[in-house]
Amino acid sequence: MKKRLQTIISQAGVTSRRNAAKMIEEGKVTVDGEVVKEKGYRVDAAECEILVEGRPLPEGDEVKYTFLFHKPKGVISTAYDPQERKKVTDFFKGINARLYPIGRLDKDTTGIILVSNDGELTHKLAHPKSEVEKVYLVKVSNEITDESLERIESGINLDGKKLAPCEIQVVSKGPRFSILTVHLHEGKKRQIKRIFGTFGHRVLELKRIVYAGLSLGDLKEGEYRELTKEEIEILRNL
């Protein structure tokens, strides 16, 4: 049965569909020895040899791993970087699996990110319809007003689209900076920085402290732990 190439790669647990499509466009995928750069290319995986970065797709019985990682500042959320910067996957050299981050955190953002070779779980959590809750600890410049907080919580417009409402708690605020926790169910690029920038506040520090009900616990920056079967089951049932 023929399927889209990026779907086959994702379902094999290699990476998310979005990243698979990007890898196809970059010429990192071959079908029967020929480079395929067409995202919508359809193929029967049972009849063809598909290689991603020169490696065959994992067999169906490959052990699935999902880790909770405390991303340090300056590390990028990708499994491949042509500029050879420090990546989240560089911290998992001892794991014999092709791991990929689920979603992204900006280079300067710290905190929780999941890393996995479970393509089905990756696709589920990364899909906008999943509306996974994310909680961020945010430090912004200057003292934020109650009026600004109310407008942000109600959902402002970015790029001509209204954002979903969010929840904000004030940890502390003063004339030099304010510290807040922000609960989101969306994941638009640089969303928090752009939201507060709209109201004249520069984000000084940003840390994701909760993802889909999972917290960092005692993990220090650069450390990780494998999720339990119970935690994975909860993620699958979100």
| Annotation says 118 is catalytic | no
SS3 18: helix
- Determine the Cα angle at 128 with ends 41 and 156, to 5°: 130
Q: Is 102 in contact with 126 (CB distance < 8 Å)?
A: yes
What are residue 35's phi and psi, to 5 degrees? -70, 130
Write the CA distances from 159 to 106, 189, 191, integer angstroms: 19, 11, 11
Write the CA distances from 228 to 64, 86, 92, 114, 166, integer angstroms: 12, 27, 18, 13, 29
Rg (CA), the chain: 20
Candidate list 106, 108, 118, 159, residue with the active-site label: 106
Active site residues: 106
